[in-house]
Structure 1
């Protein structure tokens, strides 16, 4: 149904005269007549009858009027949903329990007036394509991994260095340690089935294992964090790496331990990505919030891959 014809019908019904409707819509009276005639042909009914004083709604016109008004309201809401400055800020956080989700929750608490849509995209290629198309406004990633240079139209800033922790079950040899030096982990099995080949976090752990002689096993299907926690709790020989800001919940009987890794502490370099020409006004607010409320750890005691974008 042509919305211009519907809008013209509503204007004429409220004005009672085609001439006044034409003036309101900034079109000719002939254009109003043509639009009304086209709408009547489409509906198969007469909507107006002419009177000496103008036009009056027929019974069918009276029945159609409230629906016509609702059509226009729905159309306006549809336009508003994608209009810059009116639609929510759409941000990709990759996973629901990760550090990026925590950052966005803090942003929402600091700026409750900004509407947010949070999405979870796994692959960086998908995220970059969504940034370019305007499907999302920002994405949290670790960039730029080797062989993954960012395109010139994508900008980024490093917003959080998340320290890695060792997660073990209660019977693991390191379960009682208050902290563990990174080099000591070379003799232990680290199991991380969530590593996706070709992802930016795969590149991160490839560099970590190469530099410190670690062994990280990514074998077996990835059944999610709950299954990982169950296995770590029940297998004394296995441990896994977990981000220090990652939210985890496990049954009391698991007795899992989160142990800081030191000398150096490996940190995961979370960056915010956005398209250079993105006009959403809340995007600047988000960037300012992240760069002013997160602090970098002492770089002398930490490790990040050489390709990580420097902190501002």
Structure 2
């Protein structure tokens, strides 16, 4: 059958809201008109897509199978219209991990003269699950932050590409017993306590670091921002946290950043996109990231020198460029 995009759009909106009234309002239709479009789609496919009952609306197994391809079909339709009209709308890009300042890297990519043809509208997102949901709904084109597998169907529906591997420092009060060291091994942090900026289940990198190097972890609190986290570090005996090395500390914060070596932990920044959805503008952004990474040596990874969580290692090896001089020379760590 030839699928009608208006019917497909009615299906996707209803699947997103699981409510006919709200879906109809979003599409500027009457609820009756929305129901007719979905009924025609179900008739053409020969399958019910929604269960309608007193408890509400739910997708049937057939509806669940249709949802991913339906989103891809709508995106392809948008791309086809834009190609004919020669329209180039900006990439809708969500970022997460705001305490670690992801916009530092994006600015370097997008401000480069070689990226002049890439246009992006950047918006904040709460966390990785929120970005994944927006991508799968089609509300965003791409996301930027640290990706880790979900362990469910979202992993197949999303594709990610490493953009940058950034060394990680330990951030601690100037009076911390280890603050005078020129560098530290990660296992030496077992003498302190890792202060988390948010709940532990939202911080995959910090959890895996603590497990790998047997570092005690304080329970995470509500994420109340950068200043609140720095105040907690100052007030916690033996407290420290982990930050990518180029995140600037405010003047007069009373904190110091101590490099970690032997091994050097790396924080993996990735660009996330839906799998199988045609998006030339996202492809252009990926190429710009790759070019910026090549020139700035963002993807240096040497397993004998660096540490990455296991989920990041395979892709880091695949993208590893020829070995240049060391990014951060070995330091004597007492």
Residue 194 (structure 2) pairs with residue 162 (structure 1): no
Gap regions ≥5 residues in structure 1:
1-78
Select 1:310's aligned residue among 297, 301, 315. 315
Aligned-partner Cα distance in 1 for 2:150–2:96: 20
Aligned to 1:266: 265
The alpha-carbon deviation at position 166 of structure 1 amounts to 0.5
Aligned to 1:100: 102
Aligned-partner Cα distance in 1 for 2:274–2:246: 26
Aligned-partner Cα distance in 2 for 1:142–1:228: 20
Residue 111 (structure 2) pairs with residue 109 (structure 1): yes
Aligned-partner Cα distance in 2 for 1:169–1:274: 38
3-state DSSP of counterpart to 1:217: coil
Flag the 1:185–1:305 CA change in 2: closer, same or farther, 3 A: same
Flag the 1:293–1:126 CA change in 2: closer, same or farther, 3 A: same
Aligned-partner Cα distance in 1 for 2:175–2:248: 22
Range moving further from structure 2, 112-121 or 209-218:
112-121
User: 1:98–1:245: 8 Å Cα contact kept in structure 2?
Assistant: no
Flag the 1:219–1:142 CA change in 2: closer, same or farther, 3 A: closer
Aligned to 1:289: 288
Flag the 1:231–1:203 CA change in 2: closer, same or farther, 3 A: closer
| Aligned pairs (5 A) from 1:121-270 | 121-145=125-149, 147=151, 150-197=154-201, 199=202, 202-248=203-249, 250-252=250-252, 254-270=253-269
User: 1:92–1:120: 8 Å Cα contact kept in structure 2?
Assistant: yes
Query: Which string of whole-angstrom CA distances, capped at 9 and with x for unpartnered residues, describes residues 210-257 of structure 1?
Result: 221111213433321111112323545321111113344x242x3311
Aligned to 1:280: 279
Residue 124 (structure 2) pairs with residue 120 (structure 1): yes
Aligned-partner Cα distance in 2 for 1:107–1:115: 11
User: 1:156–1:273: 8 Å Cα contact kept in structure 2?
Assistant: yes
The alpha-carbon deviation at position 260 of structure 1 amounts to 0.4
Aligned to 1:65: none
User: 1:267–1:303: 8 Å Cα contact kept in structure 2?
Assistant: yes
Aligned-partner Cα distance in 2 for 1:251–1:272: 31
RMSD (Å) for aligned C-alpha atoms:
2.6
The alpha-carbon deviation at position 301 of structure 1 amounts to 0.9
The alpha-carbon deviation at position 270 of structure 1 amounts to 1.9
Gap regions ≥5 residues in structure 2:
1-77, 294-298, 320-334
Aligned-partner Cα distance in 2 for 1:286–1:260: 31
Name the larger-Rg structure: 1
Q: Relative contact order, CA 8 A, sep 6+: which one is greater?
A: 1
The alpha-carbon deviation at position 148 of structure 1 amounts to 5.1
The alpha-carbon deviation at position 303 of structure 1 amounts to 0.9
TM-score, normalized by length of structure 2?
A: 0.61
Aligned-partner Cα distance in 2 for 1:289–1:141: 16
